[in-house]
Structure 1
């Protein structure tokens, strides 16, 4: 094993890696693009860092999501009974039940409401010299949107933040003992919520799911937990970190920030480049090989775990010209930030729309904003799923 390769492996999941994983990714793509290692949760598996290999893992049906097929019993949590952790035909059924709420037409029709939410949140910072990007803006905006779609009482949104962080934290070996308690609280909340919805259904997504009967097939209680968990977590986490990481990219590339301010029509391109350059989802969710398969010179045996480093694939030199350059005029980008294949993120159009409105509204309201404090003081969230900072303090005067 080369020294650079050994060094790259040794730094994976460390604090310096969490702060800037890209040098380690570059080294692994060069020396060992399909690498066997131990993940933070204690599992052994393969990490895939190149774009083409990543695409293979995301799209080839040999790589399956349902761990019951691998281990013979359900070793997952109550939250994994959803389309993200299922294979056909279950996947098609579960996705189909939710898909009608995420059609391009339906999402496009939400533009004015999302704009109003962004404006209301920015109004609340009016007259101040400082704001906290995540707490004041990037977190509440998508959680209000998904809460309204699902029918979650708005006063409960902070509870959902705690529960969501806890479930995501479970992917990290440093997660604390409160995770189990938070999961129990969440399940109890959902039980009571579903019971209430059955008695008093509305026109929100949860009411539709609770009552749904597609081709004679209802969602089981377990599947209902799984779908709602996925909607709440995926429905806001991606956007929170897209806004946070995206603004940081602009603030550290002032020429690109100026370009966007002069040409607001570049916002669509800007969002795509933000997703590619430092995307909100660090790694794909787990897949397992359903049979032995060769991948870039390595034999992945049946039952072995495989994870794609999405942010590494999005900086692959063979796929993107000057991949470490943040360039909002880059040609259409085939990045993997939302995955690929049948598990491509259902909420991608919503995340893009929220990101566009959030970033542009913020910059137009506060054209002189800048980071308050030092870049080195930013705290990146640990774990295996999201890539994002805990807070971005801004001067907005």
Structure 2
């Protein structure tokens, strides 16, 4: 067990070194006490079995009122942001998930496929018009595709989408922001969400937000703060993770041209390939932090009540005790039960949508730009430092 500050892997901007940092922790044992770069001690869980157990453990819970800069946030802003699924415990979580699931259905997700394909095609046309120079796939494709999808799904006006993208980028990377920057973005995004909810109450439409406003079970329905918190969660977490899935997935494939060529020749492998990409280099390093509410004995260590618990999803998904050749990305592997979307009651509600977007986004690139390659093959794409997200800051590519 170590108590030294661990600047890497969370602040590491190299993917290889980020994974190496987690591997170094794993080599010392599957559950390690470390001091995070934020100054908070935490149990980082790198073992697959241990992470899966703790993700579903009834005594590992969310710390209510422990969101980023919670003490500095105006109370009305905090309430409008933090009353969502990822910050709730049973029975509140059970109630919220039931209500949200009634609106965010598989049927609604499946109906999005044609529109996702249209958005991908439009963005691809725009990139093709700027060729043959290098294109940043993150800015030109990875970000706008899921942002367009989630904002259209919720019914956000086109003129507000760029602001949402800018503010959500600050909020999801709160651990490396100043309080002033975070609070400014949070206040702005809450203001727009509240305006949007008021508009949808006045004039409901065929979108998810109107359904969330209308959904009720018996006499129960989402409160105003629960509504704004869910919209906030869907806008921020719902698009950032999918950006990372698309861009990290394409980067992993282009770094292995034989894998790109195989998928191009056998596109029927794409669903399994997306699962392998999620396992190999998933969109999250860790989920939203939890705490222990009782003493837990696991892997020869004792987690005390109040201790922070961080299942390291990236490390667990490369645990050699669980996966064959875990350091090798191979789209021909049988899909494995990875933890990229978490496990237990907080398993990602939007996983079907993320998978759908990933398949369509990568498949569209394969068809339109079969000869696409990295613009700087000898330079590893940079990651941004964060506590939660595992994302690329840019991905320069040549389209043909």
Moved more, 288-297 or 367-376: 367-376
| Worse overlay, 316-325 or 131-140 | 131-140
Alignment deviations for residues 262-314 of structure 1 (CA, whole Å, 9 cap, x no partner)? 10001011100100001011112111111111111111111111011100000
Q: 2: CA distance between counterparts of 1:394 and 1:123?
A: 15
* Residue 56 of structure 2 corresponds to residue 59 of structure 1: yes
Shift of 1:6: 8.6
Aligned 8 A contact 1:267 1:360 in 2: yes
Equivalents in 2 of 1:117, 1:275: separation in Å?
Answer: 22
Name the SS of the counterpart of 2:21 in structure 1.
Answer: helix
In 2, distance between residues paired with 1:221 and 1:108? Answer: 28
- C-alpha spacing 1:303/1:386, structure 2 compared with 1 (3 Å): same
Deviations 1:297-342 (A, max 9, x none): 1111111110111000000000001100001011121100000111
Partner of 1:144: 148
Matches within 5 A, 1:232-271: 232-271=235-274
Counterpart in the other structure of 2:295? 292
The whole-number CA distance in structure 2 between the counterparts of 1:375 and 1:184 is 42
1:155 and 2:159 aligned: yes
Q: Which moved more, 1:308-317 or 1:144-153?
A: 144-153
User: Which residue, 276, 279, 296 being the options, matches 2:279?
Assistant: 276
- Runs of 4 or more, structure 1, over 6 Å off, are 5-8
TM-score (norm 1): 0.92
Q: Is the 8 A contact 1:8 1:28 kept in 2?
A: no
Q: What is the match of residue 164 of structure 1? A: 168
Residue 45 (structure 2) aligns with: 48
Q: Corresponding residue for 1:354?
A: 357
In 2, the alpha carbon distance for the partners of 1:165 and 1:238 equals 11
Give, in angstroms, the shift of residue 13 of structure 1. Answer: 3.0
Aligned residues: 390
Deviation at 1:229, TM superposition (A): 0.9
Q: Is the 8 A contact 2:13 2:384 kept in 1?
A: no
Of 12-21 and 332-341, deviating more is 12-21
Unaligned 5+ segments in structure 1 are none
Structure 1 residues 320-329 or 148-157, which shifts more?
A: 148-157
In structure 2, the residue matched to 1:228 is 231
Paired position in structure 2 for 1:371:
374
1:322 and 1:140 map into 2 onto residues whose CA distance is 34
Assess if the C-alpha contact under 8 Å between 1:268 and 1:356 holds in 2: yes
Cα distance in structure 2, aligned partners of 1:101 and 1:259: 38
Distance (whole Å) between structure 2 residues aligned to residue 149 and residue 101 of structure 1: 11
Q: Which string of whole-angstrom CA distances, capped at 9 and with x for unpartnered residues, describes residues 161-216 of structure 1?
A: 111111112123x5473221111111211222222222222221212222333221
Take 2:239 and 2:286, find their aligned partners in 1: how far apart are those partners? 17
Is 2:23 the counterpart of 1:26?
yes
Residue 85 of structure 2 corresponds to 83
- Across the aligned residues of Structure 1 and Structure 2, the Cα RMSD in angstroms comes to 2.2
Q: Which moved more, 1:257-266 or 1:206-215?
A: 206-215
- List alignment gaps of at least 5 residues for structure 2: none
Aligned to 2:180: 177
Cα distance 1:117–1:345, how it changes in 2: closer, same or farther (>3 A)?
Answer: same
**Residue deviations 1:349-389 (CA, integer Å, cap 9, x gap):** 11001000100111110111111135536321111111111
Q: State the partner residue of 1:110.
A: 112
Which of 76, 94, 97 matches 2:96?
94
SS at match of 2:175: coil
8 Å Cα contact 1:280-1:337 kept in structure 2: yes
The whole-number CA distance in structure 1 between the counterparts of 2:179 and 2:95 is: 35
